[in-house]
Structure 1
Protein backbone atom coordinates (compact mmCIF):
# COMPACT_ATOMS: atom_id res chain seq x y z
CA UNK A 1 0.00 0.00 0.00
CA UNK A 2 1.27 3.46 -0.87
CA UNK A 3 -0.06 6.85 0.12
CA UNK A 4 0.70 9.67 -2.29
CA UNK A 5 0.85 13.24 -1.08
CA UNK A 6 0.27 16.08 -3.49
CA UNK A 7 -0.51 16.20 -7.17
CA UNK A 8 2.28 15.51 -9.63
CA UNK A 9 4.62 12.69 -10.61
CA UNK A 10 5.60 10.12 -8.01
CA UNK A 11 8.25 7.36 -8.26
CA UNK A 12 7.15 4.05 -6.77
CA UNK A 13 8.83 0.69 -6.54
CA UNK A 14 7.39 -2.73 -5.90
CA UNK A 15 8.98 -5.97 -4.82
CA UNK A 16 7.63 -9.34 -3.80
CA UNK A 17 8.73 -11.37 -0.81
CA UNK A 18 7.71 -15.01 -0.48
CA UNK A 19 6.89 -16.88 2.74
CA UNK A 20 10.54 -17.98 3.09
CA UNK A 21 11.71 -14.35 2.99
CA UNK A 22 13.14 -14.49 -0.53
CA UNK A 23 12.90 -11.10 -2.21
CA UNK A 24 12.20 -10.93 -5.92
CA UNK A 25 13.40 -8.23 -8.25
CA UNK A 26 12.28 -4.66 -7.66
CA UNK A 27 10.22 -2.90 -10.26
CA UNK A 28 10.22 0.90 -10.43
CA UNK A 29 7.43 2.88 -12.05
CA UNK A 30 6.09 6.39 -12.18
CA UNK A 31 2.52 7.49 -11.51
CA UNK A 32 0.91 10.89 -11.81
CA UNK A 33 -1.62 11.99 -9.21
CA UNK A 34 -4.11 14.55 -10.52
CA UNK A 35 -6.98 15.62 -8.29
CA UNK A 36 -7.48 19.09 -9.74
CA UNK A 37 -10.66 19.76 -11.71
CA UNK A 38 -9.98 21.53 -15.03
CA UNK A 39 -11.16 25.10 -15.54
CA UNK A 40 -13.76 25.95 -18.16
CA UNK A 41 -15.89 28.96 -19.04
CA UNK A 42 -18.67 29.37 -21.60
CA UNK A 43 -19.61 32.47 -23.59
CA UNK A 44 -22.22 32.56 -26.34
CA UNK A 45 -22.47 35.19 -29.08
CA UNK A 46 -24.57 35.52 -32.20
CA UNK A 47 -23.02 36.07 -35.63
CA UNK A 48 -23.16 39.86 -35.12
CA UNK A 49 -20.96 39.51 -32.04
CA UNK A 50 -23.75 40.22 -29.54
CA UNK A 51 -23.09 38.43 -26.24
CA UNK A 52 -26.09 36.30 -25.27
CA UNK A 53 -26.68 36.31 -21.51
CA UNK A 54 -28.82 33.63 -19.82
CA UNK A 55 -32.47 34.18 -20.75
CA UNK A 56 -31.63 36.07 -23.95
CA UNK A 57 -33.44 35.72 -27.27
CA UNK A 58 -31.90 35.77 -30.71
CA UNK A 59 -33.09 35.50 -34.29
CA UNK A 60 -29.84 33.78 -35.29
CA UNK A 61 -29.51 29.99 -35.58
CA UNK A 62 -25.72 30.27 -35.99
CA UNK A 63 -24.08 30.79 -32.60
CA UNK A 64 -20.45 31.06 -31.51
CA UNK A 65 -19.53 29.22 -28.31
CA UNK A 66 -16.21 30.17 -26.73
CA UNK A 67 -14.37 30.29 -23.45
CA UNK A 68 -11.26 29.61 -21.43
CA UNK A 69 -10.05 26.17 -20.39
CA UNK A 70 -7.05 23.96 -19.76
CA UNK A 71 -4.79 23.80 -22.86
CA UNK A 72 -4.89 20.50 -24.73
CA UNK A 73 -8.14 19.29 -23.20
CA UNK A 74 -11.43 19.18 -25.07
CA UNK A 75 -14.42 21.46 -24.59
CA UNK A 76 -17.72 19.78 -25.46
CA UNK A 77 -20.82 21.91 -26.03
CA UNK A 78 -24.21 20.35 -25.27
CA UNK A 79 -27.88 21.25 -25.41
CA UNK A 80 -29.67 19.90 -22.33
CA UNK A 81 -32.97 18.77 -23.87
CA UNK A 82 -34.42 17.59 -20.54
CA UNK A 83 -33.19 16.10 -17.26
CA UNK A 84 -32.10 12.90 -19.00
CA UNK A 85 -31.37 13.87 -22.61
CA UNK A 86 -28.40 15.84 -23.87
CA UNK A 87 -27.35 16.56 -27.44
CA UNK A 88 -23.67 17.03 -28.27
CA UNK A 89 -23.42 20.07 -30.54
CA UNK A 90 -19.66 20.43 -30.92
CA UNK A 91 -16.30 19.29 -29.58
CA UNK A 92 -13.12 21.34 -29.83
CA UNK A 93 -9.54 21.10 -28.49
CA UNK A 94 -8.60 23.98 -26.19
CA UNK A 95 -5.65 25.87 -27.71
CA UNK A 96 -2.24 26.37 -26.10
CA UNK A 97 -3.23 29.86 -24.92
CA UNK A 98 -6.23 28.38 -23.08
CA UNK A 99 -8.94 29.71 -25.40
CA UNK A 100 -11.49 27.76 -27.40
CA UNK A 101 -14.20 28.64 -29.91
CA UNK A 102 -16.64 26.79 -32.14
CA UNK A 103 -19.57 27.82 -34.33
CA UNK A 104 -22.77 25.76 -34.22
CA UNK A 105 -25.76 25.89 -36.56
CA UNK A 106 -28.91 25.05 -34.61
CA UNK A 107 -31.77 23.07 -36.12
CA UNK A 108 -34.29 25.88 -35.71
CA UNK A 109 -36.47 27.84 -33.33
CA UNK A 110 -36.89 26.81 -29.73
CA UNK A 111 -35.64 27.08 -26.19
CA UNK A 112 -32.13 25.76 -25.68
CA UNK A 113 -30.16 25.05 -22.51
CA UNK A 114 -26.49 25.12 -23.43
CA UNK A 115 -23.58 24.05 -21.29
CA UNK A 116 -19.94 23.11 -21.81
CA UNK A 117 -18.10 20.14 -20.36
CA UNK A 118 -14.41 19.23 -20.06
CA UNK A 119 -12.40 16.46 -18.42
CA UNK A 120 -8.72 15.68 -18.01
CA UNK A 121 -6.68 12.46 -18.27
CA UNK A 122 -7.59 11.53 -14.68
CA UNK A 123 -11.30 12.00 -15.54
CA UNK A 124 -11.61 15.06 -13.31
CA UNK A 125 -14.61 16.73 -14.94
CA UNK A 126 -16.18 20.16 -14.99
CA UNK A 127 -19.55 21.20 -16.37
CA UNK A 128 -20.47 24.87 -16.70
CA UNK A 129 -23.87 26.07 -15.60
CA UNK A 130 -26.70 26.07 -18.12
CA UNK A 131 -27.23 29.11 -20.33
CA UNK A 132 -30.83 29.21 -21.56
CA UNK A 133 -31.28 30.91 -24.93
CA UNK A 134 -34.44 31.27 -27.01
CA UNK A 135 -34.08 31.17 -30.79
CA UNK A 136 -36.95 32.80 -32.69
CA UNK A 137 -36.29 33.45 -36.35
Structure 2
Protein backbone atom coordinates (compact mmCIF):
# COMPACT_ATOMS: atom_id res chain seq x y z
CA UNK A 1 0.00 0.00 0.00
CA UNK A 2 1.10 3.56 -0.67
CA UNK A 3 -0.32 6.95 0.14
CA UNK A 4 -1.45 9.26 -2.66
CA UNK A 5 -2.71 12.82 -2.39
CA UNK A 6 -5.57 13.86 -4.63
CA UNK A 7 -5.33 17.64 -4.99
CA UNK A 8 -8.51 19.30 -6.18
CA UNK A 9 -7.73 22.19 -8.51
CA UNK A 10 -10.57 24.46 -9.50
CA UNK A 11 -11.14 27.04 -12.20
CA UNK A 12 -13.30 30.16 -12.18
CA UNK A 13 -16.02 28.05 -13.83
CA UNK A 14 -15.89 25.21 -11.30
CA UNK A 15 -15.74 27.60 -8.34
CA UNK A 16 -18.80 29.47 -9.69
CA UNK A 17 -20.66 26.15 -10.08
CA UNK A 18 -19.81 25.19 -6.51
CA UNK A 19 -21.09 28.54 -5.22
CA UNK A 20 -24.37 28.00 -7.15
CA UNK A 21 -24.86 24.56 -5.59
CA UNK A 22 -26.94 24.62 -2.39
CA UNK A 23 -24.64 23.92 0.56
CA UNK A 24 -26.70 20.97 1.85
CA UNK A 25 -26.62 19.39 -1.64
CA UNK A 26 -22.84 19.80 -1.87
CA UNK A 27 -22.41 18.27 1.61
CA UNK A 28 -24.57 15.29 0.62
CA UNK A 29 -22.73 14.78 -2.68
CA UNK A 30 -19.29 14.92 -1.11
CA UNK A 31 -20.49 12.97 1.93
CA UNK A 32 -21.56 10.04 -0.26
CA UNK A 33 -18.12 10.00 -1.93
CA UNK A 34 -16.34 10.25 1.43
CA UNK A 35 -18.49 7.39 2.73
CA UNK A 36 -17.38 5.22 -0.23
CA UNK A 37 -13.73 5.93 0.62
CA UNK A 38 -14.32 5.11 4.29
CA UNK A 39 -16.18 1.86 3.52
CA UNK A 40 -13.35 0.84 1.14
CA UNK A 41 -10.82 1.49 3.92
CA UNK A 42 -8.64 3.81 1.83
CA UNK A 43 -9.31 7.26 3.33
CA UNK A 44 -6.46 8.66 5.45
CA UNK A 45 -7.42 12.36 5.43
CA UNK A 46 -9.61 14.81 3.53
CA UNK A 47 -10.03 18.54 3.90
CA UNK A 48 -11.51 21.39 1.93
CA UNK A 49 -9.87 24.78 2.09
CA UNK A 50 -11.32 28.19 2.88
CA UNK A 51 -11.77 30.88 0.24
CA UNK A 52 -8.43 31.96 -1.25
CA UNK A 53 -9.35 35.57 -0.49
CA UNK A 54 -8.83 34.71 3.19
CA UNK A 55 -5.36 33.23 2.63
CA UNK A 56 -1.85 34.58 2.27
CA UNK A 57 1.24 33.56 0.36
CA UNK A 58 4.69 33.72 1.96
CA UNK A 59 7.26 34.09 -0.84
CA UNK A 60 10.69 32.89 0.26
CA UNK A 61 12.33 33.70 -3.08
CA UNK A 62 14.08 36.87 -1.94
CA UNK A 63 16.38 37.87 0.87
CA UNK A 64 13.46 38.43 3.24
CA UNK A 65 10.08 36.69 3.11
CA UNK A 66 7.30 38.66 1.41
CA UNK A 67 3.72 38.09 2.57
CA UNK A 68 0.91 38.77 0.07
CA UNK A 69 -2.77 38.67 1.01
CA UNK A 70 -5.32 36.90 -1.20
CA UNK A 71 -7.21 36.88 -3.46
CA UNK A 72 -4.80 35.89 -6.19
CA UNK A 73 -4.90 36.60 -9.90
CA UNK A 74 -4.29 33.07 -11.15
CA UNK A 75 -7.17 30.87 -9.98
CA UNK A 76 -5.77 27.93 -11.93
CA UNK A 77 -2.81 27.82 -9.55
CA UNK A 78 -4.95 27.35 -6.46
CA UNK A 79 -6.28 24.18 -4.95
CA UNK A 80 -9.47 23.92 -2.98
CA UNK A 81 -8.97 20.75 -1.00
CA UNK A 82 -7.32 17.38 -0.85
CA UNK A 83 -7.71 13.72 -0.05
CA UNK A 84 -4.98 11.39 1.14
CA UNK A 85 -5.69 7.78 0.24
CA UNK A 86 -3.81 4.64 1.20
CA UNK A 87 -4.18 2.45 -1.89
CA UNK A 88 -2.31 -0.32 -3.68
CA UNK A 89 -1.16 1.72 -6.68
CA UNK A 90 -1.25 4.98 -8.60
CA UNK A 91 -3.81 3.34 -10.90
CA UNK A 92 -6.13 2.78 -7.94
CA UNK A 93 -5.69 6.42 -6.88
CA UNK A 94 -6.62 7.46 -10.43
CA UNK A 95 -9.75 5.31 -10.30
CA UNK A 96 -10.83 6.99 -7.05
CA UNK A 97 -10.12 10.43 -8.54
CA UNK A 98 -12.35 9.59 -11.52
CA UNK A 99 -15.20 8.95 -9.07
CA UNK A 100 -14.99 12.35 -7.37
CA UNK A 101 -18.22 14.32 -7.84
CA UNK A 102 -17.73 16.41 -10.98
CA UNK A 103 -17.73 20.19 -11.07
CA UNK A 104 -17.04 21.43 -14.62
CA UNK A 105 -13.44 22.58 -15.02
CA UNK A 106 -12.09 20.85 -11.91
CA UNK A 107 -8.85 18.92 -12.27
CA UNK A 108 -7.41 16.44 -9.80
CA UNK A 109 -3.63 16.25 -9.42
CA UNK A 110 -2.40 12.97 -7.96
CA UNK A 111 0.93 12.76 -6.15
CA UNK A 112 2.46 9.92 -4.15
CA UNK A 113 3.29 10.72 -0.52
CA UNK A 114 6.66 9.12 0.32
CA UNK A 115 6.73 7.24 3.61
CA UNK A 116 9.29 7.83 6.34
CA UNK A 117 10.79 4.39 5.66
CA UNK A 118 12.06 5.69 2.30
CA UNK A 119 14.50 8.09 3.96
CA UNK A 120 17.90 7.26 5.50
CA UNK A 121 17.03 5.69 8.87
CA UNK A 122 20.35 6.69 10.44
CA UNK A 123 19.75 10.41 9.80
CA UNK A 124 19.33 12.37 13.07
CA UNK A 125 16.27 14.27 11.77
CA UNK A 126 14.57 11.13 10.49
CA UNK A 127 15.16 9.44 13.87
CA UNK A 128 13.53 12.44 15.61
CA UNK A 129 10.59 12.47 13.20
CA UNK A 130 10.07 8.72 13.59
CA UNK A 131 10.01 9.13 17.39
CA UNK A 132 7.46 11.96 17.07
CA UNK A 133 5.29 9.85 14.73
CA UNK A 134 5.43 6.94 17.20
CA UNK A 135 4.50 9.21 20.13
CA UNK A 136 1.52 10.64 18.21
CA UNK A 137 0.29 7.31 16.86
CA UNK A 138 1.19 8.02 13.25
CA UNK A 139 3.29 4.88 12.72
Same fold (TM over 0.5): no
Structure number with the bigger relative contact order (C-alpha 8 A, sep ≥ 6) is 2
Structure with the higher helix share, 1 or 2:
2
Structure with the higher strand share, 1 or 2:
1
Output the TM-score relative to the length of structure 2.
0.25
